[in-house]
Amino acid sequence: MTTRPPVSAPDPVTTTGAASAGSGLQAGLKNRHLSMIAIGGVIGAGLFVGSGSGIAAAGPGILVSYALVGILVVLVMRMLGEMAAANPTSGSFSAYADRALGRWAGFTIGWLYWFFWVVVLAVEATAGAKILAGWIPAVPQWGWALIVMVVLTASNLASVSSYGEFEFWFAGIKVVAIAAFIVVGGLAIFGLLPGSDHPASGFSNLTAHGGFLPHGPGAILTGVLMVVFSFMGSEIVTLAAGESADPQGAVTKATNSVIWRIAVFYLGSILIVVSLLRWDDPAILKDGSYVAALSSIGIPHASQIMNAIVLTSVLSCLNSGLYTASRMAFSLARRSDAPASFGRTTQRGVPQAAILASVVFGFVAVAFNYLWPDTVFQFLLNSSGAIALFVWLVICFSQLRMRRIIERETPEKLVVRMWLYPYLTWATIALITFVLGYMLTDTADGGGRDQVVLSTLVALGVVVFALVRERVGRNATHEVTPS
């Protein structure tokens, strides 16, 4: 009987050109791919679609909500960047949890993260299908969902560079769109946009209609719950870095630039929205915050322009979700925590079985969304809803121990350092725990309480399975070991 590899063994990643079939991943991602993956990972479809509800709930104070969550993401990414720069691997935080906290932790968070992205595949495929069916109704909505899933599966199966190229252009469109929105909106705010009759209101809308916090300071926390999940995906670059020629440099660059990315794309664009419009404008909820803002300054066909941008974001999320789920499954297999076939690659360095398994479950989830949207699929959504915060908590606890391991074994690899260690790490843990606790006060159907309770139950189930599996494996090893 063979024993498992030691917990310190990273999953093999080939970073020096083509590898033979089954030997590992390849360095197929270029620096421009990694740069756009880092930027695009921060800009999710939730920014365009979900910000309207946050503005309606918190008023201009939603800026504080975005700032608080932005700070949280910056701190978590700094911790993850410290570990990833020292040991880039396709398993990222799951592999670090494996070593820092134990096999059960790496197994649990790896499979939970895989589950999260499989559900996201279904959500985004349905969202993209709705937009496409609106443009070309001759193809049914389920047909469009099938088409986008098949196309992006094919691109992921082709090579990692195909994924990188798709994501480069998807992210590029998002970046250009938000940059243009900020520039055009900024000119309109001060009455400098040619051809627009929007009054030069400056920043008066931030305080003119019931104050900066029209619903009181507590609304900031409500806003936090509404926006926190739109930031999920910033950690993808640390998984992708393992398939680049210079993983350490890519992680360092992405970690150092996360502050300005969040400041510009989130805070900058939301500031434009709440400055152009009064926070209680009915159009914000009816049309969406960005469409309402563009319409207010006289941009023709604003809704169709925004639909195209949202579709790009959806496809980007689908593309990255499939990539991320497959690489996590690959890493789990390399650590003997998933079927061995998931850890084998083709001659192009693609974990084909891991990709196909992930997309099959994605297709099943899409079917649930059409067949039982209010029962089975709603359960899937709720049971994966808080996993993002669980991942961030695991990153924090892993960094507390990995920092000491790196300092002891390979201090020269500590090129990215968490600020004020360990105090800021513990402060981040406290903040995430507080958000999870506050979610329990959201008793609406499918709200925060449902998400925390069901996600916790699923997580506990995986933990118990992992611990039992580990104990059984240990006992079996003792039985075959000669005394």
Per-residue pLDDT at 477 exceeds 90: no
Question: Beta partners for 303?
Answer: none
Per-residue pLDDT at 312 exceeds 70: yes
Residue 241 is predicted with a pLDDT of 82
Q: What is the mean pLDDT of the chain?
A: 86
Per-residue pLDDT at 473 exceeds 80: no
Residue 480 is predicted with a pLDDT of 58
Residue 6 is predicted with a pLDDT of 38
Q: Cβ atoms within 10 A of the Cβ of 360, count?
A: 12
Between CA 48 and CA 111 the distance in angstroms is 29
Buried-exposed string 222-238: b where 16+ CB fall within 10 A, e elsewhere: bbbbbbbbbbbbbbbbb
Reported confidence tier of residue 419, pLDDT bands at 50, 70, 90: very high
Integer CA distances (angstroms), 221 to 54, 437, 439, 453, in order:
10, 11, 9, 19
In tens, the pLDDT along 196-231 reads 888 888 899 999 889 999 999 989 988 988 888 788
Q: Cβ atoms within 10 A of the Cβ of 363, count?
A: 19
Q: Contact, 238 vs 248, CB < 8 A?
A: no
Residue 478 is predicted with a pLDDT of 61
Reported confidence tier of residue 375, pLDDT bands at 50, 70, 90: confident
Half-sphere exposure (Cβ direction) of 152: Cα atoms closer than 13 Å: 32
Between CA 447 and CA 457 the distance in angstroms is 16
Between CA 238 and CA 83 the distance in angstroms is 9
Per-residue pLDDT at 15 exceeds 60: no
> 375: burial class by Cβ within 10 Å (0-12, 13-18, 19+)?
exposed
Per-residue pLDDT at 460 exceeds 90: yes
Query: Looking at residues 306-329, what average pLDDT do you find?
Result: 89
Residue 377 is predicted with a pLDDT of 86
Per-residue pLDDT at 16 exceeds 70: no
Q: Which pair of tokens denotes residue 367?
A: 């079917």
Reported confidence tier of residue 394, pLDDT bands at 50, 70, 90: very high
In tens, the pLDDT along 126-148 reads 888 989 999 999 999 889 999 99
Question: Beta partners for 444?
Answer: none
Buried-exposed string 287-305: b where 16+ CB fall within 10 A, e elsewhere: bbbbbbbbbbbebeebeeb
Among residues 48, 434, 35, the alpha carbon closest in space to that of 249 is found at: 35
Q: Of all residues in the chain, what percent carry a pLDDT higher than 90?
A: 46
Among residues 389, 308, 380, the alpha carbon closest in space to that of 48 is found at: 308
Between CA 265 and CA 38 the distance in angstroms is 13
**Lowest-pLDDT range of 42-46, 330-334, 354-358:** 42-46
pTM to 2 decimal places = 0.88
Per-residue pLDDT at 471 exceeds 80: yes
Between CA 463 and CA 388 the distance in angstroms is 16
Between CA 4 and CA 23 the distance in angstroms is 18
Query: Looking at residues 271-292, what average pLDDT do you find?
Result: 92
Q: Which pair of tokens denotes residue 293?
A: 């803002």
Question: Is residue 399 helix, strand or coil?
Answer: helix
In tens, the pLDDT along 339-350 reads 999 999 988 889
Query: Looking at residues 438-442, what average pLDDT do you find?
Result: 90
Between CA 111 and CA 325 the distance in angstroms is 9
Between CA 358 and CA 160 the distance in angstroms is 16
Per-residue pLDDT at 251 exceeds 90: no
Query: Looking at residues 72-78, what average pLDDT do you find?
Result: 92
CA angle (439, 442, 444) in 5-degree steps = 140
Which range has the top average pLDDT, 31-35, 88-92, 395-399, 470-474? 395-399
Query: Between residues 435 and 36, which one has the greater pLDDT?
Result: 435
